Amino acid sequence: MLCMLQNLDILIRHDAIQKRVKELAQEIEKNYQGRPLVVVGVLKGAFIFMADLVRHIEMPLACDFLRVSSYNKDRSTGVVRMDFDMTQPIVGKDVLLVEDIVDSGRTLSYLLKHMETKKPSSLKVCSFLYKETGAGMRARVDYIGFDVPDRYVVGYGLDSEGLYRSLPYVGAFKE
């Protein structure tokens, strides 16, 4: 733990994350007013955020997951590949897509196109983090946990070459 801390600047502390996740859940709950919801998490990055988020949304909801890869050794390849898709149809359902981070926006663009073909009655996006890199996807993200600077961040689900997902805070490697 100590050596991880030495290499990382902590950007968002655990208690700040918990507070914000509760706020997002309340906002989501209010906006859907008891309409049953399908929450779709994008693996692997969203698994911790989604687990915390759904436990604060006090209404009936279903959880599903899909997995895409777009990164190759922490560098965007620009190519998004679907590794596996959801297990339940979403036609006519209110769907909330849950992402760990929107960076270049390529993954999100790909996923929105993919999900729209399945004809949900509504499709909203909740991203734990938003990195402003000029991609202009902000308007398409309905709920944003935190804005982060243009640095590589890890923790609370986000990895670097498969590691650091389990950190309870968000950190950025010291430059």
Going edge to edge, which strands form the sheet with 122-131? 75-84, 61-72, 37-43, 94-102, 122-131, 143-148
In this structure, what DSSP letter does residue 121 have?
A: S
Give min distance, CB of 146 to ligand IMP, in A.
12
Residue 152 or 169 having the CB closest to ligand IMP? 152
Annotated catalytic, 103? yes
Residues 58-117 interacting with ligand IMP (rule: CB under 6 A): 70-71, 76, 99-108
* Residues 6 or more apart whose Cβ sits within 8 Å of residue 104: 76, 78, 133, 135
Residues 125-154 interacting with ligand IMP (rule: CB under 6 A): 152-154
Give min distance, CB of 70 to ligand IMP, in A.
5
By annotation, the residues acting in catalysis are 103
**Which residues contact ligand IMP by CB under 6 A?**
45, 70-71, 76, 99-108, 152-154, 158
